[in-house]
Amino acid sequence: MMLRKNNRLLWTAASMSIVVFASCGTNADPDPSTDTAPETNRVEIPEEMSGVAELPEAEQDAALQQKICPVSDEPIGSMGKPIKVPVEGQDVYVCCEGCVDMVKENPTKYLAKLKQE
Ligand SMILES: [Zn+2]
């Protein structure tokens, strides 16, 4: 009789730990006790591209990957907040207002230039 009781207890404990494990695995909430970097420091922005920091965080990666303004060859963000120019179904970042019209007037030329990089 003792043995049977113990077995049942063990089984209950085992199934409970499975439930705990499963809910832990599906829980996407980050552990507040873990040491995570602040949101703003997630993307590293080089000093010469500091204007990229003024872009929404979601756009910073794309601007950093593009690296340079196709019109001026200056680093994106070197003259303040980069400007996003949507041309031919994709977004091009330029360093300043003056470059926006250049890209709009000749998108094919500047898109081709970016592809060579
Ligand atoms: Zn420019």
Q: What is the pLDDT of residues 64-111, one digit of tens each?
A: 999 999 999 999 999 999 999 999 999 999 999 999 999 999 999 999
Does the residue 85 lie in any domain?
yes
Please give the helix or strand (H or E) that residue 104 lies within, else none: helix 97-105
Residues with CB under 5 A from ligand 1 (ion): 69, 72, 95-96, 99
Does the residue 43 lie in any domain?
no
pTM above 0.75, yes or no: no
State the Cα–Cα distance between residues 102 and 17, nearest whole angstrom: 63
Q: Distance, CA 22 to ligand 1 centroid (Å)?
A: 53
Domain of residue 85 covers 48-116
Quote the tokens at residue 70. Answer: 């196709």
Q: Are 111 and 90 in contact (CB under 8 A)?
A: yes
Does the residue 22 lie in any domain?
no
Output 3 or 57, whichever has higher pLDDT.
Answer: 57
State the Cα–Cα distance between residues 63 and 68, nearest whole angstrom: 9
Does the residue 67 lie in any domain?
yes
Q: Distance, CA 90 to ligand 1 centroid (Å)?
A: 18
Q: Distance, CA 41 to ligand 1 centroid (Å)?
A: 26
Give 116's pLDDT tier (boundaries 50, 70, 90): confident
Please state the domain count of the chain: 1
Does the residue 53 lie in any domain?
yes
